[in-house]
Amino acid sequence: MIGGKVLDASALVALVSGRISALTWLAIAGTAGVVLYVPSLALAEVRAVRPDVGPQLADLVGHTQVVVGELDAGAAAAVGQLLERAGVFDSMSMPER
């Protein structure tokens, strides 16, 4: 089974800024066959906020394990359901105290 990870704008900034923790995900993706999914909206956000990282974003998007696409509400809900069925902890779904 091939796994994957959805990257948000903060993860993209971490990658193009050279943060070691983010670069580790990219290295693991290449060796373990993990797909890194980049929603086009996150990509557009980084381009708008950090226009200076255009070349680094182009390199990232060209990586063999990176897929750029739309993540609409239906797809996001499907990801949430998949995580719930798998019993994966998701900090965004934690109840507030």
Residue 9 has pLDDT above 80, yes or no: yes
HSE toward the beta carbon, residue 29, CA cutoff 13 A: 20
pLDDT at 1: 43
Supply the mean pLDDT for the chain.
81
At 68-81, the pLDDT tens digits run: 988 777 777 777 77
Q: Is the pTM of this model over 0.75?
A: no
SS3 per residue for 21-72 = HHHHHHHHHHHHCCEEEEEHHHHHHHHHHCHHHHHHHHHHHCCCCEEEECCC
pLDDT at 89: 52
